[in-house]
């Protein structure tokens, strides 16, 4: 199978995974990517209410750290530099999880591997568990979120280094 075929297959698999998320999770991922990647004037296209505007502003402020975090992802099995990544990653993750638009680890992983790249994948189960277990998250949500992390994801011996190929974005439908 050629390079283009493999990329096409990966893109289709990622599209299918995205299609399997709840509608509110899909919208949240699209909005978050719009904010992080400065696409589509996120404030105009996503803010409907004052609460939406506050949430978008909070994400915008938090996501300003993402570029710096990409450069802080530790390579190898050592613990050097881990606190520089995990503290901010957990805080940003907790802020997103507290918005109650992400219901499972899969949707969280899908978003964060696009926000930070493939190199962050091994750190996502730990950041997700830490953020989801915080007392600021309602107990019933904590239970649901933590139970969504599969044993396979929590104990994966290795993660793919292949960068995401599919970045979903909001498409405006024009009225006929």
pLDDT in tens, 71-114: 999 887 778 888 899 999 999 999 999 999 999 999 999 999 99
Helical packing angle, 3-19 and 23-36, nearest 10°: 120
Q: pLDDT of 6-52, one tens digit each?
A: 666 888 999 999 999 999 999 999 999 999 988 766 666 676 788 87
Phi-psi region of 155 (alpha: psi -120 to 50; beta: other; left: phi over 0): alpha
Q: Where are the domains of the chain?
A: 23-154
pLDDT score for 146: 97
Q: pLDDT of 114-167, one tens digit each?
A: 999 999 999 999 999 999 999 999 999 999 999 999 999 888 888 888 999 999
**143: three-class secondary structure by DSSP:** helix
Q: Tokens for 57?
A: 């502003």
| 2 pLDDT more than 60 | no
* Range 54-82 average pLDDT: 88
- Alpha helices of the chain — where are they, by DSSP H? 3-19, 23-36, 42-46, 50-63, 66-70, 82-98, 105-116, 124-132, 139-147, 151-154
| Whether the Cβ atoms of residue 84 and residue 72 lie closer than 8 Å to each other | yes
pLDDT score for 9: 83
Around 132, how many Cα atoms within 13 Å sit in the side-chain half-sphere? Answer: 22
| 171 pLDDT more than 80 | no
| Whether the Cβ atoms of residue 94 and residue 131 lie closer than 8 Å to each other | yes
pTM: 0.89
The rounded distance, in Å, linking the Cα atoms of 127 and 125 is 6
The rounded distance, in Å, linking the Cα atoms of 42 and 40 is 6
């Amino acid at each position: 199978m050629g390079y283009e075929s493999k990329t096409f297959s990966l893109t289709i698999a990622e599209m299918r995974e995205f299609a399997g998320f709840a509608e509110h999770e899909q919208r949240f991922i699209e909005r978050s990517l719009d904010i992080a990647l400065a696409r589509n004037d996120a404030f105009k296209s996503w803010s409907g209410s004052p609460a939406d505007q506050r949430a978008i502003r909070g994400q915008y402020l938090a996501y300003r750290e993402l570029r710096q975090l990409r450069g802080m992802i530790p390579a190898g099995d050592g613990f050097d530099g881990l606190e520089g990544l995990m503290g901010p990653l957990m805080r940003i993750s907790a802020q997103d999880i507290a918005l109650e638009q992400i219901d499972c680890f899969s949707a969280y992983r899908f978003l964060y591997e696009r926000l930070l790249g493939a190199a962050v994948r091994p750190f996502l189960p730990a950041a997700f568990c830490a953020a989801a277990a915080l007392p600021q998250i309602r107990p019933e949500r904590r239970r649901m979120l933590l139970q969504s992390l599969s044993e396979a994801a929590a104990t994966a011996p290795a993660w793919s280094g292949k960068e995401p190929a599919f970045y979903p974005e909001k498409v405006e439908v024009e009225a006929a």
